[in-house]
A and B are shown apart, each in its own frame.
Chain A
């Protein structure tokens, strides 16, 4: 599994498409049997407590794409605070499982693992 991370609109989707994944292979914010899960943070921010249980099914994906949501002022709103933590922790676990971790900055990919 390749983990692709980076800020919102940092070029992650274009990077995944350049790897050869067409739109029909990319699931946007839903967990189904397509090989690429895009916008993982939409799932984890909506249900932080359910985030750890996603690990098993995400391990079988070819590519998982997630926004980096942990930076900036820690939110006063509890749900957003827990969502950021849960997203970050799940990404730490995914990074351990991943064969490669790629971080996008301004459209430029940097391989930070693998």
Chain B
């Protein structure tokens, strides 16, 4: 089973993702893509860790290269989130940019094949009317295209709104 979760900031994607993972047997893998940039991201990372602490997750830190992750026992993978992964693959610490679309597509597909179940969390970054640099617009475009292709390949797609899951594709588990 492959499941895509989308929605804006603070809409309850993480806690819904974890409740989905709990429907599947052990092992449960949490692929953490967030890079720490100081107190704010540390707080967010700590909050996510606390949510997973009692749920039998094993954490894999992987800011890039998710295709290299090995899962000897299969299991259920929660990858959070595609927006961080895309930014990490697209921009390096010096601000150099590359097109990460093909690599991410290949590597997430490869991870999905190794896992029994994959839950992929993403974000709806295209829904505003702000003006951005060309490079940010390329990021929005890349993530939007990745969202669409994973949504078409996956079994279930949910949008989270105020913590309420809205099923956009498939039959609920």
Contacts and interface: CB of A to CB of B under 8 A. Distances in A.
Interface of A: 3, 5, 7, 68-74, 78, 81-82, 84-89, 91-96, 101, 103, 112-113
Contacts of A96: 163
B125 A70 contact: no
Nearest to A87: B10
Given A71-B128, A73-B130, A92-B162, A78 B10 contact: no
Given A70-B8, A70-B9, A88-B10, A112 B128 contact: no
A28 B9 CA distance: 24
Interface of B: 7-12, 40, 83, 123-128, 130, 132, 136, 139-140, 161-164, 166
Nearest to B137: A73
Tell me the interface secondary structure of chain B in the complex: loop
B13 to A, nearest CB: 10
A101 B136 CA distance: 34
Contacts of A95: 162-164
B7 to A, nearest CB: 7
Contacts of B140: 73
Interchain residue pairs A-B with the least CB separation, the first 6: A88-B10, A70-B8, A72-B128, A92-B163, A71-B127, A95-B162
A84 B9 contact: yes
B10 A92 contact: yes
Contacts, number: 80
B106 to A, nearest CB: 25
A85 B47 CA distance: 13
Given A70-B10, A92-B12, 16 more contacts: A68-B8, A68-B161, A72-B124, A72-B127, A73-B140, A74-B125, A81-B9, A88-B8, A88-B10, A88-B12, A91-B163, A95-B163, A101-B161, A101-B162, A101-B164, A112-B161
Contacts of B11: 70, 88, 91-92
Contacts of B139: 73
A71 B10 contact: no
Contacts of A68: 8, 161
B124 A73 contact: no
B160 to A, nearest CB: 9
B127 A3 contact: no
A86 B40 CA distance: 13
